[in-house]
Structure 1
Amino acid sequence: MKQLYIKQKFLSLTDRFKVKDEQGNEVYYVEGSFLKIPKTFTIYDMEGHEVAVITKKVFAFLPKFIVEMEGRQVITIKKEFTFFRSRYTIDAAGIEVRGNWWDMTFQVFQHGEKIGQVSKEWFTWGDSYKVEILNEEMEQIIIALVIAIDCVKEEQNTAAAASSSV
C-alpha cells in the first residue's frame, strides 16, 4: 500500500499544489489555469510529463468535468438536475466511488475490488487529503479522480457563495 498526500495552499492565486509521498517527497504537481476559460487543472509527474488534464465544460446546461489521460476521456463528473440538494454522478469505466465523496472520505473500487481510499486531513490550512493506493497500477487515475472531485467541490462552493451574495 502506498500513501500520498495532497495539500492545497490556502488562498493561493496560482492554483498550483503538490502531491507528496509518506516521506514528504514530491511525486506529482498540479497546475490550474488562472483566469482561463475553460478552467483546467493539469497533473504532471516530477519529470514534467503530463499525467492527466481536468477540464470544466463551459457550454453545458449543468456543470460537467472531464478527466483525460493520454488523450482519452477516462472520467466524467456531472451534476444531475435536482430541485433541492446538489447531486453529482461519476462515470468511469469500471470505477466506483463509495462513501461520502462530498466530505472527501470515500473508497475507490474497480470492478468491485477496492483499489484506494481517501480521507480528509483536519486542522490544516487549506484542503489536505490522505490518499491510500492499494493497487499501484491505478495510482494516477486515483489521484486524477481525487483532484477532479475537489474541483467539483470548489466549483459548487464558489457558485453557492456567488448566489448568496446576490
Structure 2
Amino acid sequence: METYYIKEHVLSANVRTVIKDTQDKPVYILVGRWGVKGDVLSVYSMEGDVLATVKQTTYAFPSHFDLYDKRQKVGSLGRLFSFNRDMYLVKQLNWLVLANVGKQSYRIYSLKERMMLMNKHTSFQGDYYKLSIINKDVSPICICIGAVMDYWAKNNEKNWQTVNTFLNPKPSYQSIELIRKD
C-alpha cells in the first residue's frame, strides 16, 4: 500500500502541486488547469516523465474526462448518479468511484478490490488529502481521479452557493424601509 499527501487547497487549483510520500519526500508533480473543454492535468515523475493525464472532454453537465496512462487512453470518467453519495464509473478500467463530498472522502474500487482511499487529513502543516493506493503502478491514474473528484466537489459547492443566494436573497436596507412604510 502506497501513501501520498497533497495539499488540499492546491489539488484542483491551476498551479503546480507537489505530491509527497510519508517521509515528506516529493514523489510526483501535478501540473495543469481546469475550467474549459480540452483542459489537461498531468502527473509527472520527479525526472520529468509524464505518467498519467486526465483531459476534460465536455464542460456542460455532466462533465466527462478521459484518462491516459503514459499518453495511452485507458478510460473515461463520468458520473453515474448522485443521491446521498456520488457514484462515478471509469469505463474501460471497470472502476467504480464512490464519493462522499460532504466528508471529502473518495474510494475507488475494481471489482471487489479497493484501489484507492482518499480522505481529508489535518496536520500541524495544514490541510491535506491523504491518498492510500494499492500499488505504485496505478498511483498516477488514481491521483488524476482524485483531482477530478476534488474539482467536482469544489464546483458543486460554488454552484450550490449561487443557487442558495438566488433562492434566499439577503434583504437589503431599501427593502426593509419599504416593509416599514407599508
Aligned in 2, Cα 1:63/1:51: closer, same or farther, shift over 3 Å?
A: same
Deviation of the 1:76 alpha carbon: 0.7
SS in 2 for 1:114: strand
Matched, 1:112 2:138: no
Tell me which amino acid in the other structure corresponds to 1:52. Answer: A
Write the distance in 1 (CA, Å) between the matches of 2:64 and 2:54: 10
SS in 1 for 2:114: strand
Write the distance in 2 (CA, Å) between the matches of 1:111 and 1:41: 26
Matched, 1:25 2:25: yes
Partner of 1:76: 77
Write the distance in 2 (CA, Å) between the matches of 1:114 and 1:59: 29
Deviations 1:86-129 (A, max 9, x none): 8452224232234x442332433223122332221147787521
**Which moves more between the two structures, 62-71 or 118-127?**
118-127
Deviation of the 1:24 alpha carbon: 0.8
Identity of aligned residues (%): 20
Aligned length: 162
Partner of 2:88: 89
Root-mean-square deviation over aligned CA pairs: 3.2
Quick check: which one's helix share is greater? Answer: 2
The 8 Å contact of residues 19 and 28 in structure 1, kept in 2 or not, is answered as yes
Where does structure 2 lack aligned partners over 5 or more consecutive residues?
167-182
Aligned in 2, Cα 1:142/1:157: closer, same or farther, shift over 3 Å?
A: same
Deviation of the 1:165 alpha carbon: 4.7
Tell me which amino acid in the other structure corresponds to 2:158. Answer: T
Q: Which has the larger radius of gyration?
A: 2
Write the distance in 2 (CA, Å) between the matches of 1:37 and 1:126: 32
Write the distance in 2 (CA, Å) between the matches of 1:88 and 1:97: 6
Aligned in 2, Cα 1:38/1:136: closer, same or farther, shift over 3 Å?
A: closer
Tell me which amino acid in the other structure corresponds to 1:110. Answer: S
